[in-house]
């Protein structure tokens, strides 16, 4: 009887220890999930909405993972409304994963029954992550304001001033790609350099804008009284995975209402028989900068100049 009692007590004690271990493991896993959930940090910029035909609503934005963990987006919700009507819809997302620190631009279309092109709407949308966090995209009231202020005011192309970037170039590769450095203060360190600007096409007829190789980024340096000196960088194609600059040029297409990265790095317009060659600043000091674009919009000739920033170039 004593042995039986000891055996039963020992078995119960061991079972109690095993259950306690299972409980502690579960608590640790829950705490880890909570910690990962709280560690997600995503910044959203440049959200735009477009209501097209067949109740198709397009959402475009740039997101950046500012946390230390990768983020997986699984669902996009959108809600649009006016004074008499409201509706919403959602869509599942696949392969929308952001590594720590990585930026991502997207343009997703969702059918929202009842939405009609040409009407004014208040728009809002949200991204859901696999860990259960909700990332709110910026709200916007219609896209008519964008057309009236940008397209009729300064031209069909708008620039993202917050994401103006420069790179040093080794051979034909952008260093520190894709992050680069702020384009407002440039230190060339004797190397060739390149610039990236993010453009959005707001053409009135919503046509694609095609950019030719003669498009150029140029700067003016007031070196001595009544004399100025200039530096310039022509448009190039860049591999978005590796940062490699192509030796040839294919016309860049800017779809309507989609933020698109455009790069400038060549010391001449790239054409047949004239492959890419890197360009340096050449001068130092404070310089106003301009973008001169040549191409087509909807198949007709197009040109626009963007006087947009000033930069400080150091040696």
* pLDDT tens per residue across span 54-77: 788 888 888 898 887 888 899 999
pLDDT tens-digit series, residues 219-253: 888 777 767 778 889 999 999 999 999 999 999 99
- Number of structural domains (the chain) is 2
Distance CA 67, CA 227 (A): 48
Q: Whole domain around residue 104: which residue ranges?
A: 43-142
Residue with the larger pLDDT of the pair 272 and 1: 272
Same domain, 118 and 88: yes
In whole numbers, what is the pLDDT of the chain averaged over residues? 83
Stretch among 88-92, 109-113, 133-137, 138-142 having the lowest mean pLDDT = 138-142
Question: What pLDDT sits at residue 75?
Answer: 94
Nearest C-alpha neighbor of 246 from the set 255, 258, 229, 234: 234
Considering only residues 11 and 274, tell me which one the structure prediction assigns the higher pLDDT: 274
- State the pLDDT at residue 154: 66
* Same domain (yes/no): 96, 209: no
DSSP assigned state of 252 = E
Residue 204 falls inside a structural domain: yes
118 band by pLDDT with thresholds 50, 70 and 90? low
CATH of the domain at 261: 2.60.40
pLDDT tens profile 205-220: 778 999 999 999 988 8
> Is a pLDDT exceeding 60 seen at residue 147?
no
Instruction: Provide the pLDDT for residue 244.
Output: 94
* Listed range (10-14, 51-55, 292-296) with the worst mean pLDDT: 10-14
User: Which residues, including other chains, have CB under 8 Å from residue 190's CB and lie 6 or more apart?
Assistant: 280, 315
Looking at the structure, tell me whether residues 187 and 103 fall in a common domain: no
Query: What local confidence, expressed as pLDDT, does residue 30 receive?
Result: 63
Kindly report the CATH number assigned to the domain that includes residue 52.
2.60.40.10
- 167 and 250 in a single domain? The answer is yes
Give the largest Cα separation in the chain, rounded: 112
pLDDT at 160 over 70: yes
Are residue 217 and residue 91 in the same domain, yes or no? no
Phi, psi angles (nearest 5°) of residue 151: -65, -45
Q: CA–CA distance from 264 to each of 155, 166, 182, 199, 304 (Å)? A: 20, 9, 15, 13, 16
Average the pLDDT over 258-282 and give the result.
Answer: 91
Domain assignment present for residue 152? The answer is: no
- The pLDDT, as a whole number, for residue 35 is 54
Residue 109 shares a structural domain with residue 221: no
Boundary-marking domain end, from 112, 142, 172: 142
| pLDDT over threshold 70, residue 144 | no
Same domain, 68 and 129: yes
Strand (E) positions, 66-203?
Answer: 71-81, 86-92, 97-98, 103-111, 122-129, 134-141, 157-159, 165-170, 173-174, 181-182, 185-187, 192-201
Q: How confident is residue 18, by pLDDT bands cut at 50, 70 and 90?
A: confident
Residue 81, both tokens: 């409304």
pLDDT surpassing 70 at residue 84: yes
Higher pLDDT, 37 or 228: 228
């Amino acid at each position: 009887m004593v042995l039986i009692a000891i055996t039963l007590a020992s078995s119960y004690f061991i079972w109690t220890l095993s259950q306690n271990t299972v409980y502690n493991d579960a608590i640790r896993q829950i705490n880890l999930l909570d910690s990962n959930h709280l560690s997600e940090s995503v910044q959203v910029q440049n959200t735009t909405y477009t209501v097209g035909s067949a109740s198709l609503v397009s959402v475009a934005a740039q997101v950046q993972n500012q946390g230390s963990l990768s983020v997986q987006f699984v669902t996009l919700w959108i809600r649009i409304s006016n004074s008499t009507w409201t509706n919403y819809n959602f869509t599942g997302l696949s392969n929308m994963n952001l590594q720590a620190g990585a930026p991502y631009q997207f343009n997703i279309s969702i059918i929202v029954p009842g939405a009609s092109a040409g009407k004014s709407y208040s728009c809002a949308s949200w991204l859901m992550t696999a860990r259960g966090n909700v990332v709110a995209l910026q709200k916007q009231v219609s896209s008519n304001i964008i057309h009236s202020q940008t397209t009729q005011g300064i031209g069909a192309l708008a620039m993202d001033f917050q994401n103006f970037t420069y790179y040093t170039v080794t051979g034909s590769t952008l260093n520190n790609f894709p992050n680069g450095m702020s384009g407002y203060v440039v230190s060339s360190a004797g190397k060739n350099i390149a610039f990236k600007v993010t453009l959005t096409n707001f053409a009135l007829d919503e046509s694609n804008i095609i950019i030719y190789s003669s498009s150029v980024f140029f700067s003016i340096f007031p070196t001595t009284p009544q004399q100025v000196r200039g530096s310039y960088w022509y448009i190039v194609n860049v591999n978005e995975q590796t940062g490699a600059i192509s030796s040839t040029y294919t016309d860049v297409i800017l779809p309507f209402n989609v933020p698109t990265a455009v790069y400038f790095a060549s010391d001449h317009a790239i054409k047949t028989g004239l492959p890419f060659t890197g360009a340096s600043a050449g001068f130092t000091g404070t310089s106003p900068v301009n973008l001169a674009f040549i191409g087509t919009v909807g198949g007709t000739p197009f040109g626009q100049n963007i006087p947009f920033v000033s930069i400080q170039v150091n040696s």
